[in-house]
Amino acid sequence: MNEDSRLFDIFLEIQRGLPRQGPGNDACTLQALALCDKLPDEPDILDIGCGPGMQTVVLAQATNGTITAVDLQQEYLDQLDNRTQAAGVADRVETLVGEMQDLPFPTESFDLIWSEGAAYIMGFGNAVSEWMRMLKPGGYLAVSELVWLKYDPPEEVRTFFGEEYPDMTDVESRAEIFRENDYDLLGHFTLPDDAWWDHYYTPLLARIPALSTQFTNDAEALGVLDMTRNEIDMRRRFGEWYGYEFFAGRLKDTNSESVQSAREGTDFALRSK
């Protein structure tokens, strides 16, 4: 097992069983969905990087749509399957193990593409650009992304995110990416502080004592736990400087050069497989 694989396994163990794999809550999901105000009565929805799927269930309950939920980790999809069964929406939610950089869907498949806190994996700009080819004409994209909320943050938190997320930038720069990619930006908002704590950091903190005992003789794992504590401490001390911003946009013109280029490139890739 290489070092990256080992660290990822530790990360999965630390995150195991959490309600969410990042900041968010049901109210924010519904607020972002409300920006997508002209969806069909039964929309086709793609939830990319769905994790254990709290938001997937909310989307299923708030629409009459059919949802395809994609994540790389089967155990998260198993959690989602349990949630959809309990919520009575399992007949409208399909789960799929897959990488967001290589999704197997044809062009113009979805009315709404959704991704909470996961687009950074392939790069926010790449995600906004590449996912458009899967949207039907006039389709919607709703994505949350970590951003700076104020200019000139303190050195400590700037250094932390310089190492953890060097591509992090401000709200307007992310909004501009929507506009550059032929979306009408319908709105955006900052997730409130409780969206960080209620279903993510608070249950994560509750796991740390038992994990410290579990990893007593594992220096690598204890190091990851220390990084986790440091991340949470950053939020406590510098939360006013950064946050998650939820963006929603509607695809403007499917005949534009950028949209056609994205579609044609993907069609060629699919034919070549």
What residues does each domain of the chain span?
A: 22-192+244-272
Give the predicted TM-score (pTM) of the model: 0.91
Tokens at 141, concatenated: 């994209």
pLDDT tens-place string over residues 184-220: 999 999 999 999 999 999 999 999 999 999 999 999 9
Contact 35, 107 (CB under 8 A): no
Extended strands (E) in 28-88: 44-48, 66-71
pLDDT tens-place string over residues 126-147: 999 999 999 999 999 999 999 9
Q: How far is CA 26 from CA 2, 46, 112, 160, 255, in A?
A: 37, 17, 18, 29, 35
Q: Per CATH, which fold does 22-192+244-272 belong to?
A: Rossmann fold (3.40.50)
Nearest alpha-carbon partner for 181 in 131, 242, 232 = 131
Residue type, 90: A
Nearest alpha-carbon partner for 115 in 67, 64, 79, 162 = 67
- Rounded to an integer, what distance in angstroms lies between the CA atom of residue 234 and that of residue 243? 11
At 262 the pLDDT is 54
Q: Please compute, for residue 84, the number of CA atoms within 13 A of its CA located in the half-sphere on the CB side.
A: 25
CA 218 to chain centre: 30
Question: In percent, how much of the chain has pLDDT > 90?
Answer: 87
Give the chain's residues under pLDDT 50.
Answer: 266, 268-273
